[in-house]
Amino acid sequence: MLHVAAYIEAAAGSGQDRILWLEGDDLIGVALADGMGGMGGGTLAAESAVQYALEAMNEAPGLIVASQWPELFWRLDRRVNTTREAGETTLVALETDGRLVCGASCGDSGAWLVAGDRVVNLTEHQMRKPLVGSGQADPVSFTAELGDGLLLVASDGLFRYTGARNICETVRRVPLPDLPRALVDLVRLKSGRLQDDVAVFVAGRPPQ
Ligand SMILES: [Mn+2]
């Protein structure tokens, strides 16, 4: 099965990115959220969204296919929307059985497949708004063949501040367990600070 690694680093005074994942015998699932809203509302929304997404993935008998993901997101959207004090959040959630990758997203957190110097942006058709927790979420689902690709799921704190070229170069150079931190270092300022929270999850085949 695939190997996975994840890392989150908060920008000063921030900290509303969350990741949860599951590693089963035949399936890997991940949910990544970037919460919006002050007074802890964004954090609560992000934490609730990834937790509810993992519950849904644990309950589902097999791979949740693309056609099933929108309904699942609408259910999560209503649950976060009715969670007291919760704000809103981006959400990208997906599962892979090692062959197919199926999932959906709301907002600007993304999922890419990285293979050599090629990337496929699985979330390219996503809607930036409305977010999960608004009660009007507009999820866009996706399906792709994993192939030999590395699966990269990250918040806009990564994708906004670096590009495919740097990401591909880092994926080629750095072993998977160290990759999330190395990707965060791509967007680190000279001062060592980050401009936004960065959450990174990767899954890929172990080296032959
Ligand atoms: Mn962000």
Q: Residue 52's pLDDT is what? A: 97
- Report how far ligand 1's centroid is from the alpha carbon of 153 (Å): 13
- Report how far ligand 1's centroid is from the alpha carbon of 208 (Å): 35
Assess contact for 51 and 32: CB atoms under 8 A. no
- Report how far ligand 1's centroid is from the alpha carbon of 61 (Å): 32
* pLDDT (tens place) for every residue of the chain, 208 residues total: 899 999 999 998 888 999 999 999 899 999 999 999 888 899 999 999 999 999 999 999 999 999 999 999 999 999 999 999 999 999 999 999 999 999 999 999 999 999 988 999 999 999 999 999 999 999 999 999 999 999 999 999 999 999 999 999 999 999 999 999 999 999 999 999 999 999 999 999 987 7
- Report how far ligand 1's centroid is from the alpha carbon of 122 (Å): 18
Q: Residue 206's pLDDT is what? A: 85
For residues 58 and 33, give the distance between their C-alpha atoms in angstroms, rounded to a whole number: 18
> Which domains, from first to last, does the chain contain?
3-204 (3.60.40.10)
Non-local CB neighbours of 33 within 8 Å, separated by 6+ positions: 17, 18, 19, 45, 46, 47, 49, 50, 89, 90, 91, 92, 109, 132
- Report how far ligand 1's centroid is from the alpha carbon of 155 (Å): 6
Q: Residue 38's pLDDT is what? A: 84
- Tallying the residues shown for the chain, one arrives at 208
- Report how far ligand 1's centroid is from the alpha carbon of 147 (Å): 29
- Report how far ligand 1's centroid is from the alpha carbon of 87 (Å): 14
For residues 199 and 6, give the distance between their C-alpha atoms in angstroms, rounded to a whole number: 8
Non-local CB neighbours of 208 within 8 Å, separated by 6+ positions: none
Alpha helices in 60-161, H assignment, sequence order? 69-81, 156-159
Q: Residue 37's pLDDT is what? A: 85
pTM reported for the whole predicted model: 0.97
